[in-house]
């Protein structure tokens, strides 16, 4: 709804400049047009006069009055007023809200989408769990956030690639292989030969049994077959990684999350990308040797201290393959790269960016963009749930989905800011009451579907065209409030995609559901007057559409009955 208002304000500025009331050299500033905090102060507020006052050499309030006087007439604008030191408050005509309802119905599933991305490529990396065990609830939060961010970017015109980075090399994979080997030999965690840092979950026993049985696992389109030889550690390593990757992929698919690319850390070593990256850093003069180690001059690029790249024993520190990996994203054409990580990775961000800048490859300074999520605490019956029978030391994503359901799990994991700690109350997530936010929103959608079914059962055919034309008959305060909420949706999508904050969509859907339920309880829909009935059903259908669109962005279903 901002577009026609901006056009009017721009034209008012042009009129004042043509008439000489604003200096010819004055340029139109990048003013803001925002919804007013309270509708008694207008529907939108603008700071154009405040920004233009200095270059125009005018008092901002007097300039605001001149701009208001120059505003062309428009059927969507009822009036404009000057407030405070020079704000312009704009009041929309009822026709503006009616037109927006008709727009919702016309655009359907595309309502709220925009072309901000212009088709540019963006890679969204998320979850990226080590293939050493089942996904835990932290991975679940990463999965929900990353997938919702990808959906928001797609709705905003970006060409999105979802990427999963597997850390399938290093000490943790060695510990996995040795743990599976110990189980295959019949040893338990209490045995003297059990690895000191071994994995103790019940799933290790499952992997070991599958290995001994000679099972085959298909992952990435290829089969990995167990050699059965309990002394062949390399074979155990390959099979264990494949087995757990398959399990993680199944959990993610059940969670409604898909990936376009699975990138293996081991490929960076196998293809020489790590060595190639190190050579480039050395060649550009951004490294030095000290104490037998190779260091990156990361302080030259904003890090708080220089970082070791290659230790004295010849092995690389963990951030070096991260630099090589993110370089590959740039080389693969991602103009933006968004990486979703747990907050415990915060310390590595500056050094990765420093490494990318030191490569002098034209990579932007804020590449990649990071979204960090805080930990999740799971509660049941007022007490914290800490352990999983299968994993042994943490609550798995599968546990959570089995207890609360996929929709509630996804909703609760994105309903708060990523940088805020999250308490997941299983009892609340399972509750079929208005206290449960996802139930409340889904029930609004189902309730509208129920009304439409009732209308069909009574032989009341909804004439959408007649209803759209009769929206002016919906002059009640509750109907008006619902129209106002509906019109906010494109702005919410735009802001959530711009700031990478899917919780904004969840909050909005709660407010939209409240507006609908309030209207529903204030007046009957299936009245005898066909025109009034069709108008109310058209508004209800618009609400149903926006609820469905928003739930789709969160990966939550929009049920037709509950």
Report CA torsion sign: 242, 248, 251, 252. Answer: negative
Tokens of residue 27, six digits: 């340029």
Predicted pLDDT at 442:
98
Q: How many beta carbons lie within 10 A of that of residue 524, not counting itself?
A: 10
User: Residues 152, 153, 156, 161: what is their CA dihedral angle, to the nearest 10 degrees?
Assistant: -130
Beta bridge partners of 166: 264
Strands 369-373 and 376-380, by their bridges, are unpaired
pLDDT digits (tens, 9 = 90+) for 235-283: 999 999 999 999 999 999 999 999 999 999 999 999 999 999 999 999 9
**Average pLDDT of the segment spanning 497-510:** 98
Alpha-carbon distance 153 to 493, whole Å? 9
Taking phi first (over 0 means left), then psi (-120 to 50 degrees means alpha), and beta for anything else, what does residue 285 get?
left
Residue 390 has pLDDT above 80, yes or no: no
Nearest to 441 by CA among 420, 414, 402, 476: 414
Alpha-carbon distance 154 to 447, whole Å? 29
Tokens of residue 292, six digits: 């037998």
**Cis peptide bond N-terminal to 368, omega within 30:** yes
Q: How many beta carbons lie within 10 A of that of residue 343, not counting itself?
A: 13
Tell me which long-range contacts 403-408 makes (C-beta under 8 A, separation of at least 24).
403/429, 403/430, 404/429, 404/430, 405/429, 405/430, 406/254, 406/255, 406/256, 407/438, 407/442, 407/556, 407/557, 408/436, 408/438, 408/439
Cα-based distances in Å from 288 to 252, 272, 278: 43, 21, 12
Alpha-carbon distance 517 to 540, whole Å? 10
Beta bridge partners of 424: 378
Residue 358 has pLDDT above 90, yes or no: yes
Alpha-carbon distance 275 to 107, whole Å? 51
Residue 508 has pLDDT above 80, yes or no: yes
CA atoms within 13 A on the CB side of 209: 5
Report CA torsion sign: 377, 379, 383, 385. Answer: negative
Predicted pLDDT at 415:
96
Alpha-carbon distance 530 to 431, whole Å? 38
Predicted pLDDT at 345:
82
pLDDT digits (tens, 9 = 90+) for 13-69: 999 999 999 998 889 999 999 999 888 889 999 999 999 999 998 999 999 999 999
Nearest to 126 by CA among 104, 151, 159: 151
CA atoms within 13 A on the CB side of 114: 18
Quote the crossing angle between the two packed helices 503-520 and 530-553, to the nearest 10°.
160
Strands 77-83 and 87-92, by their bridges, are antiparallel
Q: How many beta carbons lie within 10 A of that of residue 363, not counting itself?
A: 19
Q: How many beta carbons lie within 10 A of that of residue 392, not counting itself?
A: 16
Cα-based distances in Å from 392 to 42, 127, 205, 251: 57, 21, 12, 17
Alpha-carbon distance 129 to 145, whole Å? 15
Predicted pLDDT at 348:
84
**Average pLDDT of the segment spanning 270-298:** 96
Domains of the chain: 2-92 (3.30.1360.70), 98-115+433-553 (1.10.730.10), 121-166+262-373 (3.40.50.620), 171-257 (no CATH)
Beta bridge partners of 136: 396
Contact 296, 306 (CB under 8 A): yes
What rounded mean pLDDT belongs to the chain?
95
Alpha-carbon distance 42 to 71, whole Å? 16
Predicted pLDDT at 100:
96
Q: How confident is the model at residue 540 (pLDDT cuts 50, 70, 90)?
A: very high
Alpha-carbon distance 484 to 480, whole Å? 6
Alpha-carbon distance 343 to 237, whole Å? 29
Q: How confident is the model at residue 170 (pLDDT cuts 50, 70, 90)?
A: confident
Q: How confident is the model at residue 168 (pLDDT cuts 50, 70, 90)?
A: confident
Alpha-carbon distance 24 to 360, whole Å? 43
pLDDT digits (tens, 9 = 90+) for 123-157: 999 999 999 999 999 999 999 999 999 999 999 99
Contact 544, 446 (CB under 8 A): no
């Amino acid at each position: 709804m901002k577009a026609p208002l901006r056009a009017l304000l721009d034209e008012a500025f042009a009129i004042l400049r043509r008439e000489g009331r604003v200096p010819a050299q004055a340029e139109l500033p990048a003013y803001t047009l925002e919804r007013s905090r309270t509708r008694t102060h207008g529907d939108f507020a603008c700071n154009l006069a405040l920004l233009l006052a200095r270059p125009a050499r005018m008092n901002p309030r007097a300039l605001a009055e001149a701009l208001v006087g120059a505003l062309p007439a428009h059927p969507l604008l009822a009036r404009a007023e000057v407030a405070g030191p020079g704000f312009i408050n704009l009041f929309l005509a009822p026709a503006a809200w009616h037109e927006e309802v008709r727009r919702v119905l016309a655009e359907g599933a595309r309502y709220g989408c925009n072309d901000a991305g212009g088709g540019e490529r963006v890679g969204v990396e998320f979850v990226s769990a080590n293939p050493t065990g089942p996904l835990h609830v932290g991975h679940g939060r990463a999965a929900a956030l990353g997938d919702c961010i990808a959906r928001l970017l797609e709705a905003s015109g970006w060409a999105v690639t979802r990427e999963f980075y597997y850390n399938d090399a290093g000490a943790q994979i060695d510990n996995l292989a040795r743990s599976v080997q110990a189980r295959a030999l019949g040893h338990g965690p209490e045995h003297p030969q059990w690895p000191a840092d071994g994995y103790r979950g019940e799933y290790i026993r499952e992997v070991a049994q599958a290995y001994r049985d000679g099972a085959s696992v298909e992952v990435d389109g290829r089969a990995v077959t167990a050699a059965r030889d309990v002394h062949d550690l390399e074979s155990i390593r390959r099979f264990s990684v494949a087995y757990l990757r398959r399990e993680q992929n199944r959990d993610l698919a059940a969670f409604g999350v898909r990936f376009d690319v699975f990138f293996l850390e081991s490929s960076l070593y196998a293809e020489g990308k790590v060595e190639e990256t190190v050579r480039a850093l050395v060649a550009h003069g951004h490294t030095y040797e000290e104490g037998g180690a190779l260091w990156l001059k990361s302080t030259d690029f904003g890090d708080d201290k220089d970082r070791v790249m290659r230790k004295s024993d010849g092995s690389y520190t963990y951030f070096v393959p991260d630099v090589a990996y993110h370089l590959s994203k740039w080389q693969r054409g991602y103009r933006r790269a968004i990486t979703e990580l747990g907050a415990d990775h915060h310390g590595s961000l500056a050094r990765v960016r420093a490494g990318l800048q030191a490569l002098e490859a034209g990579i932007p300074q804020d590449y990649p963009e990071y979204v960090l999520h805080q930990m999740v605490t799971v509660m049941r019956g007022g007490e914290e749930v800490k352990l999983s029978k299968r994993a042994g030391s943490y609550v798995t994503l599968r546990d959570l989905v089995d207890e609360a359901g996929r929709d509630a799990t996804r909703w609760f994991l994105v309903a708060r800011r990523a940088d805020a700690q999250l308490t997941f109350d299983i009892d609340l997530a399972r509750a079929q009451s208005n206290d449960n936010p996802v139930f409340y929103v889904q029930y609004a959608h189902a309730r509208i579907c129920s009304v439409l079914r009732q209308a069909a059962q009574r032989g009341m055919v909804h004439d959408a065209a007649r209803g759209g034309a009769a929206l002016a008959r919906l002059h009640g305060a509750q109907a008006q409030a619902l129209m106002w909420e509906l019109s906010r949706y494109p702005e919410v999508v735009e802001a959530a995609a711009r700031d990478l904050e899917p919780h904004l969509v969840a909050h909005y859907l709660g407010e939209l559901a409240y507006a609908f339920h309030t209207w529903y309880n204030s007046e009957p829909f299936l009245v005898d007057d066909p025109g009034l009935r069709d108008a109310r059903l058209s508004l209800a259908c618009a609400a149903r559409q926006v609820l469905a669109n928003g739930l789709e962005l969160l990966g939550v279903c929009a049920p037709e009955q509950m």
